[in-house]
Amino acid sequence: MEEHHHHSRRSFLQGKAAAETLAKQALEWLESKTALIDRLPSDPALHVRASRRAMACEFAVQYHRADRQAAGDFLDAFDMIEAVEDELTIYRDVSSVVEINRHAAESPVEVNGELFGLLELSLNLFQATKGAFDITSTPLSRVWGFLKRAGRLPDELEITEALSCMGSDQLELSSQDQTIRFLQPGIEINFNSIGKGHALDRVAEQLDEKGIGDYLWHGGSSSILARGRNRASLDECWSIGLRHPLQPECRIAEFHLRNRSLGTAGGATQFLEIDGKKYGHILDPRTGWPATGTYTSTVLAPTAAEADALATAFYVSGVEGAADICSNRPDVGAVLVCPTENDAKIRIHAYNMHSEDWTPSQDWQVSI
């Protein structure tokens, strides 16, 4: 049986316990082969890792062993992630989002500044992506069964009814009063496609206030935030590998992050299979059906929230949507891995990706 060591918070913050516990966690933190992205190996003598489960995934931080005096601050950052989850979750009886969903169709609901900022960003992204990103898609996820990870194939009437209760254009925000109101009954909001990135951004703000830099955060296998320098690397970047969607043992590219975030989306890990046909869990909020035509969508952006949301949006809208956004956002880069006529081959499309951002494998052709 695996042995676990427990330390009080006081002893943890005193140093030795922190270093020993985090070093042990570094060795134990193994990644699933189904992950779309993977961190490249690092020397445990140079890096320390710690992790905690939140938002139905594993959040983890990697930083330098020389900075282990900041262990307590990183523990506080995990507390921040849990606080964000408490605020955004729809899977509990009480949260800020649950209260919005209960009352915003009746009257405006006042929210705090951080949540209002997230609502504004979500509405802006809905407009910029022409509806490919939409935080009101809960009714659609419900009829497909993906909301409770119990997939089912709905009929056309169910999909039509779900679509009639959706649309971020039915959200009315008042910056003066810091409120949100639903313009029709049946609307619900859900931050599943942006929440992890938002939590990482909140963590970065908290650590910045404490003067702490040089670290890499993971939120599951899809959300990453890098700050400062990786002092254990010659190029001082934090390196992340992108796995082949059909051959997960192969890496098709390596991303180099520094003061940037990365988000990735794909349908390989969650899907519904009926009569041999697979229906992915990422739904197109414009049509009501699972998005098709893309294996994985990876986005580099200034914030983790944007990277998260745009990765989902580009998976839904495909290469045309990615090209459109990236043509107007030079600070956003994207890599879409798509199928070809040959089921065994892939096509890689890259937008605003420069040599300092990534190193694609020479085994696959990249369209730019």
Tell me the per-residue pLDDT of 50-64, one tens digit each, with 9 for 90 and over: 999 999 999 999 999
For the segment 83-94, the average pLDDT, to the nearest whole number, is 96
What's the pLDDT score for residue 230?
95
Nearest to residue 191, comparing CAs of 180, 176, 178? 180
Kindly provide the b/e burial profile for residues 23-41, where b requires at least 16 CB atoms within 10 angstroms of the residue's own CB. Answer: bbebeeeeeeeebbbbbee
| Percent of the chain's residues with pLDDT above 70 | 86
Confidence class for position 342, pLDDT limits 50, 70, 90 = confident
Give CA 76 to chain center in angstroms.
Answer: 21
Secondary structure letter of residue 30 according to DSSP: -
Nearest to residue 161, comparing CAs of 181, 182, 185? 185
Domains of the chain: 35-86+193-360 (3.10.520.10), 92-182 (1.10.3980.10)
User: Does residue 33 carry a pLDDT above 60?
Assistant: no
Bigger pLDDT: 16 vs 165: 165
Characterize the bridge pairing of strands 251-257 and 358-360. Answer: antiparallel
Confidence class for position 31, pLDDT limits 50, 70, 90 = very low
User: Does residue 22 carry a pLDDT above 50?
Assistant: no
Tell me the Cα Rg of the chain: 21
- Determine the 3-state secondary structure of 241 from DSSP: strand
Nearest to residue 239, comparing CAs of 32, 62, 59, 22? 62
For 226, phi and psi rounded to 5 degrees? -115, 135
Residues 6+ apart with CB under 8 A from 100: 109, 111, 180, 189
Q: Residues 367, 336: contact at Cβ < 8 Å?
A: no
Q: Residues 262, 300: contact at Cβ < 8 Å?
A: yes
User: Does residue 10 carry a pLDDT above 50?
Assistant: no
What's the pLDDT score for residue 364?
67
Q: Residues 80, 69: contact at Cβ < 8 Å?
A: no
